[in-house]
Amino acid sequence: LNEDVVSEGTATTMFPDTMRRVRHGARLCGLFALGDGSASGATRLVAVVSDDGTLWSEEAALARGQRRFASLAAEVPAAAWYERRIHDLFGLRPVGHPQLDPLVLPLRRGVHAPLGPDGHAEQPLDPDPTPLRAHVHGEGVFTIPYGPVRSGVFETVEYLVETAGEDIPHLRARIYYKHRGVEAAFEGRTVADGVLLAERVEGVASVAHALAFCGAVEVLGGIDVPAGAQLARVVHAELERIANHLDTVVRHTEAAGQAVAYAAFSHHKERVQRLRGRLCGNRFGRGVVVPGGVARPLRLAPSEVLSALGKLQHDVEDDFRRLMGTPSFLDRLRRTGILSNDDARRFAALGPVGRASGAHEDVRRSRPYGAYERLGNPVGTPESDGDALARQRVRIEEIEGSFHLVRQAADMLDELGEPARWRSPVPPLTGEAIGWAEAPQGEVLSLVRLEEGRLAQVAQRSASFHNLAAYPAAFGKDILTDVAFIEASFGLSIAGAAG
């Protein structure tokens, strides 16, 4: 079929409602290519928008043989990475895209998209290791590749820094090294197996991904999650947030050469991981959140949780006071890696990154799920400086908030006593739904399509994918030695971004 048979129209004709909402300040959450079960490959594009505490999705059907669609990215920068991903994986071309470089699959020409309209020919990739063409030109400008094998224990990623020596006028991230093909791995699995895979999309945010995935299944089936299970989920999810936020502090102190602070905070993080292990048998909270509830109750009595928490919180907050009073540390973060409020809005930045730059949405409050509806959710101080220090302050406040939430949940579990059940049964379902959760990195979305209890397609969108598109915008006034701080302060997981 000739791919020009069908005109792609414009973004406004394709997604009238989405474009209208985004023009009025709504946040684009993502753009996805989905099949409908009747044919192989993608048959629809789905745009998801968050507007005033409600999630809206709008579909644009693709005509048979249509391989092109009108790009939204020229007007909505937040769509740019979604369109590059759709182009790589599904072979659909966004016409008018400002910069259609390969993202998750830098294939040599001629190899077709693995999830594309020609069906799922899962042929092995043939990566092209030559760097992307330079974007900055001028005398003495050269490109420094950081990665893919980094100096230290980091996730694999390559940052191409185009520089004339010290300043960083331009930075690009290449994430394809880590692309594992997670979306394809969901297909055909049961929902029970699907949640185990969702936990491994972004391993450091296993609980949040499991919650988003299960949320979609529960919405689809109209399943009530028992009150006790909802509270247990909050305990696991908030401890995950504390561990992740402490991890960014550990990386900051390591980059700043603050040896004692590094030892102190990495010890605190280990204590949190061990507490999580004691609560559920896994240091990452895996295997606990299941569709319909939790697999098992907390292994510690609420009173034991509270006493473990008290000492931990005291020690963590004591060290935060010390760290935030250490000028040689603060100097490295202040005015470093500024993501302007304007850029945060354009890229619809999520999580602590967005909240440090004036984009204050936290889906635990704006679209509360599970027990968050009943818990007093502390509102953080609005930050708008947008630098690494602001992101650090946001996370410190969130850690305090998370301790507060875990304590509330443990108290309520104590009052509840032993509930009749910890999970509701999940019948074999057919249909499509969207679930969400606020991961430590920001909002996780899960688009789940089920056919008679089996997963037909799952798009598990991490906040890391969404925020990594905004990451280059935080460079500009910085120099090479700031890179470590900017990276740590974004707190992104490359696994979650590369999929």
Q: Please state, in angstroms and rounded to a whole number, the distance separating the CA atoms of residues 103 and 81.
A: 8
380 within 8 A of 404, measured Cβ to Cβ: no
Q: Please state, in angstroms and rounded to a whole number, the distance separating the CA atoms of residues 77 and 152.
A: 32
Nearer to another protein, 11 or 497 (CB): 497
* HSE-CB of 269 using CA atoms within 13 angstroms: 18
Sequence-ordered list of residues with C-beta below 8 angstroms from that of 340, at least 6 positions apart, any chain: 357, 386, 473
Q: Is 33 helix (H, G, I), strand (E, B) or coil?
A: strand
Q: Which stretch binds another protein (CB under 8 A): 52-60, 92-100, 177-185, 223-231?
A: 177-185
Sequence-ordered list of residues with C-beta below 8 angstroms from that of 193, at least 6 positions apart, any chain: none
Q: Is 313 in the site for another protein (CB under 8 A)?
A: no
- Cα–Cα distances in Å, from 382 out to 395, 402, 445? 12, 17, 24
- Footprint on residues 202-231 left by another protein (CB under 8 A): 202-204, 206
Q: Is 379 in the site for another protein (CB under 8 A)?
A: no
Q: How far is the CB of 4 from another protein (least distance, A)?
A: 28
List, in sequence order, every residue forming a beta bridge with 49; answer none if it has no partner.
Answer: 28, 56
Q: Which stretch binds another protein (CB under 8 A): 28-36, 40-48, 132-140, 280-288?
A: 280-288
Q: Please state, in angstroms and rounded to a whole number, the distance separating the CA atoms of residues 451 and 37.
A: 8
Q: How far is the CB of 399 from another protein (least distance, A)?
A: 17
Q: How far is the CB of 269 from another protein (least distance, A)?
A: 7
Q: Is 102 in the site for another protein (CB under 8 A)?
A: no
Nearer to another protein, 96 or 148 (CB): 148
Find the binder of another protein among 179, 252, 391, 466 (CB under 8 A).
179
Token pair listed for 79: 């769509």
Nearer to another protein, 223 or 250 (CB): 250
Q: How far is the CB of 276 from another protein (least distance, A)?
A: 12
Q: Which stretch binds another protein (CB under 8 A): 35-43, 200-208, 300-308, 352-360?
A: 200-208
Nearer to another protein, 68 or 174 (CB): 174
> Which DSSP helix (H) or strand (E) runs through 246?
helix 227-255
Q: Is 324 in the site for another protein (CB under 8 A)?
A: no
Q: Interior CA angle at 241 toward 260 and 486, to 5°?
A: 60
Find the binder of another protein among 21, 68, 97, 178 (CB under 8 A).
178
Nearer to another protein, 201 or 450 (CB): 201
Q: Is 240 in the site for another protein (CB under 8 A)?
A: no
List, in sequence order, every residue forming a beta bridge with 432; answer none if it has no partner.
Answer: 449
Q: Which stretch binds another protein (CB under 8 A): 171-179, 214-222, 373-381, 407-415?
A: 171-179
Q: How far is the CB of 495 from another protein (least distance, A)?
A: 4
Q: How far is the CB of 16 from another protein (least distance, A)?
A: 35
For residues 170, 178, 352, 237, the Cα torsion angle rounded to the nearest 10 degrees is 180
Burial (CB count within 10 angstroms: exposed 0-12, middle 13-18, buried 19+), residue 409: buried
Q: Please state, in angstroms and rounded to a whole number, the distance separating the CA atoms of residues 126 and 106.
A: 8
- Cα–Cα distances in Å, from 460 out to 201, 211, 258, 274, 412? 8, 11, 37, 27, 31
Size of interface with another protein, in residues (CB under 8 A): 67
Q: How far is the CB of 257 from another protein (least distance, A)?
A: 12
Find the binder of another protein among 180, 311, 314, 421 (CB under 8 A).
180
Q: Please state, in angstroms and rounded to a whole number, the distance separating the CA atoms of residues 258 and 261.
A: 5
- Footprint on residues 120-159 left by another protein (CB under 8 A): 122-125, 127, 129, 148-149, 151-156
Q: Is 269 in the site for another protein (CB under 8 A)?
A: yes
Q: How far is the CB of 408 from another protein (least distance, A)?
A: 27
Q: How far is the CB of 446 from another protein (least distance, A)?
A: 16
Q: How far is the CB of 352 from another protein (least distance, A)?
A: 17
423 within 8 A of 215, measured Cβ to Cβ: no
Q: Which stretch binds another protein (CB under 8 A): 34-42, 62-70, 254-262, 354-362?
A: 254-262
- Cα–Cα distances in Å, from 9 out to 66, 95, 395, 491? 12, 9, 43, 38
Q: Please state, in angstroms and rounded to a whole number, the distance separating the CA atoms of residues 404 and 299.
A: 20
Q: Is 417 in the site for another protein (CB under 8 A)?
A: no
Q: Is 281 in the site for another protein (CB under 8 A)?
A: yes
SS3 content of the chain, % helix, strand, coil (to 5): 45, 15, 40
- Footprint on residues 434-493 left by another protein (CB under 8 A): 493
Find the binder of another protein among 169, 277, 419, 476 (CB under 8 A).
277
Q: Is 301 in the site for another protein (CB under 8 A)?
A: no
Q: Which residues of this chain interact with another protein, rule CB under 8 A?
A: 105-106, 114, 122-125, 127, 129, 148-149, 151-156, 176-182, 184-185, 189, 192-193, 196-197, 200-204, 206, 247, 258-261, 263-264, 266-267, 269-270, 273-274, 277-278, 281-284, 286-287, 295, 319, 322, 325-326, 493-496
